[in-house]
Amino acid sequence: AETYTCSEDMTRRLGCRHAPLSCEHFAEAVQRDGWALGLEELIYASLDIRHQGQLGAQSFRWFEMEKRRQLVREGSGGHTQLGRALRSEEAWQAAAGLGEFKQHRFEMEKR
């Protein structure tokens, strides 16, 4: 999901936007795009859910959902980290404010 921006980009770069994609062409295309872990035939067979021996644009519809999940994971991770930092800062400020209030109250009681 990191190599391609959307399913249209994926189908365009793999070469199956307008014509079916064979296993051989799929393997060449993903290797050209940086895939180096092998098992291209297994991946191709997994994507060919209709067992037609060819992939088309409809074979990559799952990609949009996966891309959304990736963006949510990246976004929520950042928000979570930011949220923790803000809560930590707020807690520190609250503790400091409470300390100042107690000191002020103590001084007022002494008078």
- What's the whole-number mean pLDDT along residues 20-48? 89
The CATH code of the domain at 1-60 is 1.10.238
Q: What φ, ψ does residue 73 adopt, rounded to 5°?
A: -60, -45
- Tens-digit pLDDT profile for residues 58-95: 888 888 888 888 877 777 655 555 556 556 666 666 76
Nearest CA-CA partner of 1 in 77, 62, 75, 45: 62
Across the range 17-25, mean pLDDT stands at: 86
- On the question of pLDDT at 99 being above 80, the answer is no
pTM assigned to the model: 0.55
Look over the chain and give the mean of its residue pLDDT values, rounded to a whole number: 78
